[in-house]
A and B are shown apart, each in its own frame.
Chain A
């Protein structure tokens, strides 16, 4: 069980039931649970979609696409069944919020699924939970069973004459299946590799049927939007960036944890006030704003940033998944780049050339480089490789590997130069090796 943290600046919408035993269905009901579904059952599908549009809710999985719009893409008529698919594969490094929702308030996710189903005309939902989150599967399984037992799921839910089924499914340990089309492949029992788009899932998704795929947090926000009204939710954040967000503070920070803050919250304040600043009196060097796939910010840039989608997209960058990783001035950025690349190399599904081969060579080169075996031309080669991956891979994982790499080489080139020609890593002189112990140099 993850420890819960809190800060007075928090606006608790999605996390309002955290720590209150709401995984228990009766407790959940005491806390206004399943009221939103009943309200939605009285609404017209289009009205539900409009309410969500008004809320300016944008996808919490990372891409920040308007949820209301996504739902509106689903065709009204379909020969094949429609589906709601909850993306609970949460594997983006630095991101650990969906697990709290699934642990503390699983019924809010079920509620969100049913409401989405009512909005688009689906009768079946799947909750896909990351394989490593084994303990959450038990919680979700119980929550679903309890909801069936109460008649909230199954035939004739809430006596409405409507049917709705929810199933859970668990992954086998692949970051890539968090990507929505690979997620569908995985759920269908195939290798977790992405699909060609178009067609988009809203038109041709699971087993060929129109499918809405949303992040756990996105769907957990929906019942609150239905209850409080879209406008109120929208008003928590700046224009077009509705509501609050669960930010996961980690790294070199005094009070790590998941905090629910309004979108647009200043990053500086998040680090120094909410997170209690950097430990051991050290200084800030860099911030990963939203999971390892985002452009890494320098301390100066971090001071200026507000944490909403548009503030980042204005710069051609991404707010990402809510995983804020703080790095202090004793961090070796070469090592950090290597650590990040090890992740992507390990997680690349291998389908396309640039990501499969590119991440592998980047990992190999960075490994040698960090160990002191770097050559001057390697610095440009690293950047060249990343540049040639960016925008050319089959799915965004390749971009996700290229983006942090490029920004680190660009912003901390001097740290790369400091490693050249057998020099030990300046940040860990004790532990570094002599040149004869280095990995292969041709």
Chain B
């Protein structure tokens, strides 16, 4: 597309240039002239309803709405004059006329656009004497409440829900001053409960069931971090307050809009942090005594674990120990865990809950440049092929970006899926193929016309298959996205096709850091950066001796346990008993250690359970399913839990390992194992920006995850991102997969997709009050797709 030509206009005597077609309000914004607006919202359809943005344009008889007028060459605009000021003031007066002005008890008080506009444009005295229109507040769902009198009818909620979410749950009823926002189902919502409508509401008309009346906005501290649920990695701003147990997260939103998710958060990002203070949260270590898990001190638990693991290693060797890592812990923790397994426990028996074939993907794209797309790319690519998965349910941000791209940029979306997933509504072509035949489609893409036979159906003709293939062959730099339906050789075949059209790929995995777990080498056969354990590598030199043979994967460990060959199982943030149907009986004689937030099915079998910090209580980095890495910021602390990072270091210490080798902190500073709180929690981060910028070493503690990030960046190819940029809260793209030397795969690997829906999120989701209340609420109502307007 040719860039539109730049044209020049004059606003308040200032001359400014912007591309032809730019809306006047945006052109003004770009040079710092604020034109007030309520109904205008970038990326949503234009309304011209609130009339706040009226300006004078020369040669036009009336004031014009800057939100709808496109600039034209030589346009002369007055945005600040008595006339314009008076127009703005009168709009506010009219809005306040029926407004309850219950600011002192309104959730939005202090961060309300109506308050701010009144403050700025004035309308302090009322001209009206009659009673205000009133309507009772309504609850539409567990998370959405509506207070009509506060509503200024800007229709942002209606558009965010319809245009943005493609849910179309909200509409306008009645007319004139009786106009009212209402759920299309009458008195309640049957929707995705994303809370977008609440977040986008400029006033306190829509409020959140999880947050309302809990705090005044200015009493919160805001922490920008990452959502801990799916693999998309939305940036969230947590509203924090202090509480008896140390901290309270009162709100999740995305006010700063700078993240890969822009405006977006799904229900989980917005509300499902609430598992962190569930009453069942583990608050002290547990040791099995007389068959019962009983409360213990950290000292006892660490001592016991350190001693037993050392014993087992020294007597039976590392092969007798298995380690299962997490796809929810940080990159630093994952890296540390496998380094601990390989250098301290002396085993390659390490794996994690694999929800997709990242290793197969790495093999397929090894050596290619620009082979992986970022989440941001999805919002701008000119065409997208989606094979498998249901992003609306499993990757809500990805789905949002796809929808936005189709809506705003007319991107072409091609979908191949065995189910009629909702994104088909945005698709240029939707091919519903029989379950399990996704790989046949890949073969067809690569020119195997015989594959078409197993794909066609009354809804999918040979011609439609060919048409899609032709369009994809002619596509410009498409993005190809695939779910766990494609594995191993199928991914390689898909990459082969994609390379011909300069495609970039996204491999979809579940949970917040499953890509990070893969990149960091939580594999029995792969070291960090998908380096083959039995191939050439320099980890011996870096870490000292590491086991040369491939270890056991989860299935292997399970078999070994059955055969009584597994003496110990060390589990961090994972629940193999449920996820992999790991046989509890087989673990009876093994020494099982679990680091967890809750007493999961696996933790119940443990000898020792360590209460771990949640992702809100520690710092580090997460890599999302696309390979976008972001900083997890510590939001606060709750008493008597410790980060997985710290627990691993302490266990290693008790085993007599050299912690300085494990975590290369400080230069010549003696390890102070007593110091932990500040450093493990990432408080060093704040100084780190300055220290790193000045080339100084900020690492003072073995519990500082930044220390190991140094090593990750040094040893994992593709992780050479700008640390400063990351610390500043931005996202960076990592390309470990492109740099792998993974070699041939070991045949079929055991992949168990999480199959989470919008309202579930593995173990943690089970402890979210909000998710549970929404699920509970939905049992009574059958939800259907609503037609787009």
Contact = CB atoms under 8 A, between A and B. Distances in A.
Interface of A: 174, 176, 190-192, 196, 345-354, 356-361, 364-365, 368, 375, 381, 384-385, 388, 391-394, 439-442
Interface in B528-558: none
A173 to B, nearest CB: 10
Given A364-B128, A381-B127, A356 B177 contact: yes
A174 B176 CA distance: 11
Nearest to B171: A191
Interface string B59-84: 00111000010000000000000000
Contact of A348 (B51, B87, B133, B175): B175
B175 A350 contact: yes
10 contacts: A190-B789, A347-B175, A350-B175, A352-B50, A353-B153, A357-B94, A359-B177, A392-B90, A440-B129, A442-B130
Interface in B500-547: none
Given A352-B51, A357-B94, A365 B175 contact: no
Contacts of A365: 128-130
A349 B176 contact: yes
A358 B48 contact: no
Interface in B189-217: none
Nearest to B90: A388
A174 B128 CA distance: 28
Contacts, number: 108
Given A368-B130, A388-B90, A439-B130, A360 B177 contact: yes
B51 A393 contact: yes
Q: Closest 8 interchain pairs by CB?
A: A350-B179, A388-B90, A357-B94, A360-B177, A348-B176, A442-B129, A364-B130, A391-B62
Given A393-B51, A439-B130, A388 B178 contact: no
B50 A356 contact: no
B172 interface: yes
B153 A350 contact: yes
Nearest to A384: B127
Given A353-B94, A357-B98, A361-B128, A392 B174 contact: no
B86 A356 contact: no
Given A361-B94, A361-B97, A350 B178 contact: yes
Contacts of B68: 196
B95 interface: yes
Given A354-B94, A388-B94, 6 more contacts: A350-B178, A353-B91, A353-B95, A353-B152, A356-B177, A394-B48
Contacts of B86: 388
B693 interface: no
Interface string B475-502: 0000000000000000000000000000
A356 B129 contact: no
B728 interface: no
Contacts of B127: 361, 381, 384-385
B668 interface: no
A216 to B, nearest CB: 24
Interface string B376-398: 00000000000000000000000
B673 interface: no
The winner among B86, B93, B177 for most chain A CB atoms within 10 A is B177
Nearest to A391: B62
Contacts of B49: 351-353, 394
Interface residues of B, number: 37
Given A356-B153, A358-B94, A349 B175 contact: yes
Contacts of A349: 175-176
Contacts of B175: 174, 176, 192, 347-350
B62 A392 contact: yes
B51 A357 contact: no
A391 B98 CA distance: 22
B629 interface: no
Contacts of A441: 129
B177 A350 contact: yes
A383 to B, nearest CB: 11
A196 B47 CA distance: 7
Contacts of A394: 48-49, 51
Contacts of A350: 153, 172, 174-179
B176 A360 contact: yes
Contacts of B131: 440
B46 interface: yes
B684 interface: no
Contacts of B47: 196, 351
The winner among B133, B175, B789 for most chain A CB atoms within 10 A is B175
Contacts of B758: none
Given A351-B49, A394-B48, A357 B177 contact: yes
Contacts of A348: 175-177
A345 B50 CA distance: 18
Contacts of B62: 391-392
B179 A356 contact: yes
The winner among B90, B98, B172 for most chain A CB atoms within 10 A is B90
Nearest to B789: A190
Contacts of B567: none
Contact of B90 (A176, A196, A354, A360): A354
B18 interface: no
B54 interface: yes
Contacts of B52: 353
Interface string B123-136: 00001111101000
A440 B129 CA distance: 8
B69 to A, nearest CB: 9
A346 B178 CA distance: 9
Contacts of A358: 94
Nearest to B61: A391
A393 B51 CA distance: 7
Given A191-B172, A352-B49, A368 B129 contact: yes
A354 B178 CA distance: 14
A120 B172 CA distance: 36
B123 to A, nearest CB: 11
A348 B94 CA distance: 15
A359 B94 CA distance: 10
A363 to B, nearest CB: 9
Interface in B732-746: none
B68 to A, nearest CB: 5
Contact of A357 (B63, B87, B97): B97
Contacts of A352: 48-51
A440 B130 contact: yes
Given A360-B177, A361-B97, A392-B62, A354 B51 contact: yes
B176 A392 contact: no
A329 B102 CA distance: 47
A356 B54 CA distance: 17
Given A347-B176, A358-B94, A392 B87 contact: yes
B85 to A, nearest CB: 12
Contact of B176 (A359, A384, A385): A359
Nearest to A441: B129
Interface string B574-598: 0000000000000000000000000
B222 to A, nearest CB: 31
Nearest to B155: A351
Contacts of B91: 353-354, 392
Contacts of A353: 49-52, 91, 94-95, 152-153
Contact of B48 (A196, A356, A357): A196
The winner among B93, B94, B98, B153 for most chain A CB atoms within 10 A is B94
A183 to B, nearest CB: 15
A40 to B, nearest CB: 36
A94 B290 CA distance: 94
Nearest to A192: B175
Contact of B63 (A190, A196, A364, A392): A392
A82 B397 CA distance: 40
A190 B98 CA distance: 27
Contact of B177 (A345, A354, A385, A439): A345
Interface in B130-179: 130-131, 133, 152-153, 172, 174-179
